[in-house]
Amino acid sequence: MPQDFHPATGLLASLDLLAIRHADAIAHVQLNRPAKRNAINDALVTQLHTAFVNLPEATRVVVVSGAGEHFCAGLDLSELGERSVAEGVMHSRAWHAAFEQIQFGRVPVIAVLHGAVVGGGLELASSAHIRVAEKNAFYGLPEGQRGLFVGGGGSARVPRLIGAARMADMMLTGRVYDADEGQAIGLSQYVVEDGKGLEHALALAAKVAGNAPLSNFAVMHALPRIADMHQDDGLFTESLMAAIAQGDDAAKTRMRAFLDGKAGKVRKA
């Protein structure tokens, strides 16, 4: 972790299942149950929700990772118990509320994936906007073999990344994808060497944090909704969002800088 990161204070510091640090506009939220492979229990879901609702005003982007050898091994089955149908619905809705704050919160989220990205861990990862996988990452949805069905938003988010047929295959047969296979089908946008995921994610976060906040917000909120619309409706919504974004003072300042030769042009890396 770079030296300029410092631990969270106040409410965020009290979230014992998360390690939260800040460096200027970047927040790093780390799942902190390494002995349980960062399996998600009720308390962790609640703390994730709390963390993303209460991000400091200065935050412009969040990086999410997992402590220890795995990103997240999914639902903590030791807490599943004998829930009634009604209790099961409320449990699922609590996950939905937490992950909704990640996908449709205030700032973009970058997930660093390593080791197990399984079940609820993949549901969590799919709520992020950018996913960086280390070579040792692997993806699975074992709910089908356990008599369960996804309940953390996976049925809505994962098919939008890889298609319903691939998700069905994972759930019905227990198929597991490695990091390279996962990138090829859309589970991540980047694959890096083991141990390099956080470094790469932080470099991406610095770029994202440098964007105009309203532009980032439009990408997070308008883009996925437009993709679900009929084309005519999507194009009209795009016009409205484009007009709002270009009318923002930050956009005008950046355009003036570009026209004055003070901003870099798009170049091949």
For the chain, list the strands marked E by DSSP.
6-7, 18-23, 26-31, 61-66, 109-113, 116-118, 130-134, 138-140, 177-178, 190-192
Is 143 annotated in the active site? yes
Report the amino acid identity of residue 19.
A
69, 123, 134, 238: which one is catalytic? 123
Give yes or no for a contact between 124 and 103, defined as CB atoms under 8 angstroms apart.
no
Is 57 annotated in the active site? no
Taking the C-alpha atoms of residue 130 and residue 225, their distance in angstroms, rounded to an integer, is 17
Return the closest-CA partner of residue 76 out of 134, 31, 115. Answer: 31
The 3 state secondary structure assigned to 7-62 is ECCHHHHHCCCEEEEEECCEEEEEECCHHHCCCECHHHHHHHHHHHHCCCCCCCEE
143, 181, 193, 238: which one is catalytic? 143
User: Helix 42-53 to helix 85-103 angle, to the nearest 10 degrees?
Assistant: 30
Query: Which residue bears the tokens 């369960």?
Result: 148
Catalytic residue ranges: 123, 143
